[in-house]
Structure 1
């Protein structure tokens, strides 16, 4: 690591001047009390920082807004695109949408940056030297929330991975590593199974990695990668992942470092940013003045760096470190070895404010005076790529079919009788596993079937697809979904069946 940067230098500073007014959403559960605590410290460190309160969360849900955000809040965010947000509660069921997902996707906050640092010995950890940053793609993957119930027994969730999305987050991770004196970037996917979606992410990583020869790079399958994050996190430095893996991995890393309650999160886009604690709203302890505001306070430090308030960020962060090492701890961190006093939420914030200007004596101090430019400034729209030659060669037709015994041979006979000239039935799968031809008799089958038709001559006319669907309907086999099968520059753009 760059000698000028301490192990806890994890901000996202901006060189472009930004407004000194920030939007603030207090949140639900413990949100209001930890936000008040953080704002007390901010006002002491940056007296002229202006606050624009905005409403989102339970109050907005109760007023009938299913995404938890009032229309006037969107207007406020358009004027003040930097948001400090308390934890929110999303009601279960009923079509309610996650506020975080809505904000990230609507505002284009494509990069989620979560530093995970061990503060040994003041916070218990199995890995005293841990200092890892998870850079998570924030808009795509299964978090598109595109789900359907297709049969009585089967529901599906679409996983969407785009090349532009991969390029932005991977390049951001490399630029972050350079800006913060990091040595290595690790990509984690599951492309041994999801060869097209995760395979694209891995391929883009390899392409962009070639532009950064000064950095060490590696790829790991997410399962062993997550296991090693728990057992030997020193193997990692900056980790970049698709959305779902990053969500899980960053919680693992934060907890391994010592406490998820200390973990901050920055959500960065080209035109705005949102900062929050990683933890949830914890309604069971709300109003008891025992919640730890540290995660949100460290998120506020990231926010100050983002808007160019580097002196204030340094002062607050070092005061927090000094408070921690003096043994002034909230209930969740209190222990007989290193704690001197157990403080409430408000009292902890006052202790940090009283130490503004002081430096830690044992933990490494942070120094943001040489703060690098935010990586988002280095991102440019990807250069247009030449469109690949795209040829339709077949179609997957999905059926809801539940006849007695669910015999795929019976289904195959009906499908073959319905197929028009120029098409052949190539394979039938159930839950992705081949069941015809030559399927295994012990394969479990549901009422959801994928029936793959291929063009006999190798190329399928688009008009043949609706013609096939009409013929299937006439034979009592209505389709519930179709997926066209294409080749791109001669390479198949679809997966083969398991066992095919």
Structure 2
């Protein structure tokens, strides 16, 4: 880059510890920009949307919130959820509203075993494990199709219907994305996860699309598992995993399992992508708002900082993304850990260590 590239970032800290960890992630991004010799910079605009906003305004975000976000290069998101606001209100009113409104149809959740983090998995080569969940992020079980009725019949007689919506287009684009991603990795393998023995319509459609698309990728190894068997494989044979593609609900659950096995949800990063680039993508850690520890300064910022690395890569700053991931690894290797992974360091201290290690790993390159 010869001239400065200015990236406009929409920042939504949200609720609870989201505000704390996003602040630390922005510190890292600003440090990288300051060290870039004028090659790039970040311009951040903050949006106060979340549960506090809901309690004051009766809505989780502005009515035209999605439109306001469309002109940004990326969205940096903290967390959503707080006592006093039902979880389905906070989720559908903000995060899902953004993901669906901007057609961020690919959710990427790496599972990485960082050095120095206490083992949660009995495996002889834990630090060699590294796989990635590719989650369909726009339809499936979270399509919002359904309703409640017959409340007038009295207590105990109401009926609720929740339908999963699978389209051939939605299945194909996420499956094809997984195959393309597998081609960039050392081991070229995609594992598809469904429950098509019991869900004979939507997930059989998924299986059929997977079989058809796989024929176009003869260089990529394939595997198919039912979701219950895949949960067991995460624990028993994780070395067999590389790229795992699944529906909205299944990948959501499996990614939490993977993060827990890796040590904590606090270290897990994710990206909600619009791969075509028609709208901005959104980057967030996997963990929730953790209101029980909000304001104490002990939240783990690694997941949110790792999400910043995914954002850097998406924005074309691939070397900076690699450096940041190496700095995170060096930080945990040296024993800088927060309480959730057996350490004693606070949120700011972890970020300080990552920034310090950025300089060190840069000199090694």
Normalised TM-score (structure 2): 0.87
1:134 is the counterpart of 2:133? yes
The equivalent residue for 2:311 is 303
1:92 is the counterpart of 2:79? no
**Equivalent residue of 1:49, what SS?**
strand
The equivalent residue for 1:156 is 161
1:257 is the counterpart of 2:262? yes
The equivalent residue for 1:331 is 339
Among 95, 111, 120, the alignment partner of 1:125 is 120
**Equivalent residue of 1:143, what SS?**
strand
Among 203, 206, 211, the alignment partner of 1:201 is 206
The whole-number CA distance in structure 1 between the counterparts of 2:52 and 2:190 is: 41
Per-residue CA shift, 1:41-86, capped at 9, x if unaligned? 11111132221212321233124353x1224643431210410100
The whole-number CA distance in structure 2 between the counterparts of 1:213 and 1:79 is: 39
Q: 1:354 Cα deviation (Å)?
A: 1.6
The whole-number CA distance in structure 1 between the counterparts of 2:356 and 2:87 is: 44
Please tell me whether the aligned partners of residues 18 and 308 of structure 1 are also in contact (alpha carbons under 8 angstroms): no
The whole-number CA distance in structure 2 between the counterparts of 1:18 and 1:274 is: 19
Q: Which moved more, 1:121-130 or 1:107-116?
A: 121-130
Q: Aligned pair count?
A: 339
The whole-number CA distance in structure 2 between the counterparts of 1:307 and 1:238 is: 22
Matches within 5 A, 1:105-124: 105-124=100-119
Q: 1:121 Cα deviation (Å)?
A: 4.1
Please tell me whether the aligned partners of residues 338 and 347 of structure 2 are also in contact (alpha carbons under 8 angstroms): yes
Per-residue CA shift, 1:389-409, capped at 9, x if unaligned? xxxxxxxxxxxxxxxxxxxxx
Please tell me whether the aligned partners of residues 168 and 206 of structure 2 are also in contact (alpha carbons under 8 angstroms): yes
In structure 2, do the counterparts of structure 1 residues 100 and 174 end up closer, same or farther at CA, with 3 Å as the change threshold? same
The equivalent residue for 2:291 is 283
Q: 1:180 Cα deviation (Å)?
A: 3.2
Please tell me whether the aligned partners of residues 120 and 263 of structure 2 are also in contact (alpha carbons under 8 angstroms): yes
**Equivalent residue of 1:46, what SS?**
helix
Per-residue CA shift, 1:359-403, capped at 9, x if unaligned? 39xxxx9x9xxxxxxxxxxxxxxxxxxxxxxxxxxxxxxxxxxxx
In structure 2, do the counterparts of structure 1 residues 75 and 95 end up closer, same or farther at CA, with 3 Å as the change threshold? closer
The equivalent residue for 1:39 is 26
The whole-number CA distance in structure 2 between the counterparts of 1:37 and 1:264 is: 14
The equivalent residue for 2:70 is 78
Q: 1:333 Cα deviation (Å)?
A: 1.9
Matches within 5 A, 1:303-322: 303-322=311-330
Among 349, 352, 355, the alignment partner of 1:353 is 355
Among 55, 65, 72, the alignment partner of 1:62 is 55
The equivalent residue for 2:153 is none
In structure 2, do the counterparts of structure 1 residues 320 and 93 end up closer, same or farther at CA, with 3 Å as the change threshold? closer
In structure 2, do the counterparts of structure 1 residues 163 and 27 end up closer, same or farther at CA, with 3 Å as the change threshold? same
Normalised TM-score (structure 1): 0.64
The equivalent residue for 1:411 is none
Q: 1:149 Cα deviation (Å)?
A: 2.6
The whole-number CA distance in structure 2 between the counterparts of 1:351 and 1:185 is: 35
Please tell me whether the aligned partners of residues 66 and 102 of structure 2 are also in contact (alpha carbons under 8 angstroms): no
Please tell me whether the aligned partners of residues 60 and 70 of structure 1 are also in contact (alpha carbons under 8 angstroms): no
Q: Which moved more, 1:131-140 or 1:305-314?
A: 305-314
Note the residue ranges of structure 1 that are not aligned, 5 or more in a row.
1-16, 336-341, 368-500
Rg larger in structure? 1
The whole-number CA distance in structure 2 between the counterparts of 1:355 and 1:259 is: 22
The whole-number CA distance in structure 2 between the counterparts of 1:255 and 1:143 is: 23
**Equivalent residue of 1:83, what SS?**
strand
In structure 2, do the counterparts of structure 1 residues 77 and 220 end up closer, same or farther at CA, with 3 Å as the change threshold? same
The whole-number CA distance in structure 1 between the counterparts of 2:173 and 2:348 is: 40
Q: 1:118 Cα deviation (Å)?
A: 1.2
Q: 1:98 Cα deviation (Å)?
A: 4.4
The whole-number CA distance in structure 2 between the counterparts of 1:28 and 1:206 is: 42
Q: Which moved more, 1:206-215 or 1:119-128?
A: 119-128
In structure 2, do the counterparts of structure 1 residues 238 and 56 end up closer, same or farther at CA, with 3 Å as the change threshold? same
The whole-number CA distance in structure 2 between the counterparts of 1:178 and 1:267 is: 20
- C-alpha root-mean-square deviation of aligned residues, in Å? 2.2
Please tell me whether the aligned partners of residues 266 and 273 of structure 1 are also in contact (alpha carbons under 8 angstroms): yes
